[in-house]
Structure 1
């Protein structure tokens, strides 16, 4: 399947190369940047400014883990000046980069070591294929300090690809770092004193956030939001929730809330969205900062923070 997709993409690239609709964006003189999914698009747009054109491979409202790329998207990756991705998070993107863009890809997983997945959260690979960062938690963007470090390195990579605008990239990265530092301060202050520190989540996306702010993540399922937890594990989470007086079971956007809602009803809690920012829903005016602040409000309410 992969070889067929790449072959189709190659043919498509030849087709569009003679057309006015150049997938690289070279016709407007801007640096063409492909971002694999929303948080990376956010950084690329904020740091790149008006000198880059950013294309997001994950469409709004689509869960990115199991994304399958269309031939036109593969052609866009091949024609880009820079591809920003996180190895292991979207295997289809890893495969296309290996074939079409290996020398012009920036893997944000290499900025800082990824944390191990929480116990019991490791995913089984049905195909038997091995991918980068197996057994690692990819949701690094949910720690604002780590996200800022990624932004700094992205600015350096943009400057390498476009030296004429190096200082502008550096300045915008500093502005982004300042915003993320302020966000980190808000989280630190708001979550310093809480009656509870356990957050029950539909899947194991919040490990970096929990570690940064001294919370304990209790995931119902593993790293994949579509994973099916065992009845025994669900029963264990329910017992813990009752013992700790958990008032809120968190589920995420873009996937079904059924398991979280069922567990919440069983333990006498409410079900509430905690957004892992893997994608922004279509038509939303929200961005990384606004969603993270919405998440903070929901956490402080759920944990009875003073």
Structure 2
């Protein structure tokens, strides 16, 4: 699916989302909605859209990848009791497939564009102390295509409007402001993608498929643990890949140590740290961190291309 298709869908995305599976009743005026989200981008969108009318529940520990989080009984109970449960789809947070969630209160934010999912190879491996897990065969960091992120936000806005019809004007205004911000990120990413034509890149982890497709980046991926040391075998794999692809930019999903940054430079590549933000950042928010990541990627592209 091309960006033009997603753009056309974004125009009518709120209408599509209003026809989704959210069936809850109207909000009692004095109550605050409880909204649970499976990842940080969806929590951020819910916070922006709901404003003061809702508390957003996102309790994934800071050092845990929300893709593979295993919530405890108390966490599941709290999530099941929320007025809205905002899920990503595409196999993200696979605990949701093994847990009974109330269908009438669950918002599948990708329902309107599931035919745009990117198929991947299924890889089973272990990261740190999280045990074995599998990349499910579908890329699921959907929000890195900011047009898709907008569709996800529209689905949440539709669900909130269904639950709180008296606040529809406020929700619509918040959606417009959020959509403008996401469109700004999309414009910036497209500009960098155009400048990066002919600049092959390698990422430390397969997170950036939707970013690459939407904005024209040439990104191949390794499968390094962002929290673990890089072995000599992994460095050798990277060097071989770099030579084959003639890659000039290396994308880290988390800030590495200084020695790793220097070693990338020794390989003739330029570093760019680009957190995909499945979990809440230590500083800033979705908008500010994404903007900073795009700035770093732009700087890396300029250095790598000699401009």
Question: Per the shorter chain, which TM-score range?
Answer: 0.7 to 0.9
Which structure 2 residues correspond to residues 165-184 of structure 1 after superposition, within 5 A?
A: 165-184=167-186
Contact 1:218 1:237 in 2 (8 A): no
Aligned residue for 1:116, secondary structure, equals coil
1:9: which partner in 2? none
Change in 2 beyond 3 A, CA 1:221/1:262: farther
Moved more, 79-88 or 257-266: 257-266
- Pick from 278, 297, 300: which aligns with 2:298? 300
Distance 2:98 2:169 in 1: 33
After TM superposition, give the deviation of residue 210 of structure 1 in Å: 0.8
How much does 1:272 deviate?
A: 4.1
Flag structure 1 segments of 5+ consecutive residues without an equivalent. 1-25
Task: Please tell me whether the aligned partners of residues 196 and 244 of structure 1 are also in contact (alpha carbons under 8 angstroms).
Answer: no
**CA root-mean-square deviation:** 3.6
Q: Is the 8 A contact 1:249 1:261 kept in 2?
A: no
CA distance 1:94–1:226, change in 2 (3 Å): farther
What's 1:56 paired with?
58
Q: Which of these residues, 92, 96, 105, is aligned with residue 95 of structure 2?
A: 92
In structure 1, the residue matched to 2:16 is: none
Residue 134 to residue 240, structure 1, CA distance change in 2 (3 Å):
closer
Supply the distance in 1 between the matched residues of 2:80 and 2:195 (Cα, whole angstroms): 49
Aligned equivalent of 2:193: 191
Tell me the equivalent position of 1:250.
251
TM-score norm. by structure 2 comes to: 0.75
Question: Structure 1 residues 279, 258: closer, same or farther in 2, change over 3 A?
Answer: farther
Shifted more, 225-234 versus 65-74: the winner is 225-234
* Cα distance change of structure 1 residues 259 and 198 upon mapping to structure 2, 3 Å threshold: farther
Tell me, in whole angstroms, the C-alpha distance in 2 between the residues paired with 1:179 and 1:270: 28
Could you tell me how far 1:199 is from its partner in structure 2? 2.0
Give 1:227 shift. 11
Deviates more, 1:261-270 or 1:108-117: 261-270
Q: Distance in 2 between matches of 1:89 and 1:262?
A: 33
CA spacing shift, 1:244–1:134, aligned 2, 3 Å: closer
Give the SS at the match of 2:85: strand
Q: Find the aligned partners of 1:264 and 1:227 in 2 and give their Cα distance.
A: 16
Native 8 Å contact 1:198 1:217 kept in 2? yes
Change in 2 beyond 3 A, CA 1:201/1:175: same
Equivalent residues in 2 for 1:1-306 (5 A)? 29-87=31-89, 88-96=91-99, 99-113=100-114, 114-118=116-120, 121-124=121-124, 134-194=136-196, 196-221=198-223, 237-242=238-243, 245-253=246-254, 264=264, 267-269=267-269, 271-282=271-282, 284=283, 286-304=284-302, 306=307
Q: CA deviation at 1:262?
A: 9.5
Aligned mates of 2:159, 2:78 — CA distance in 1: 19
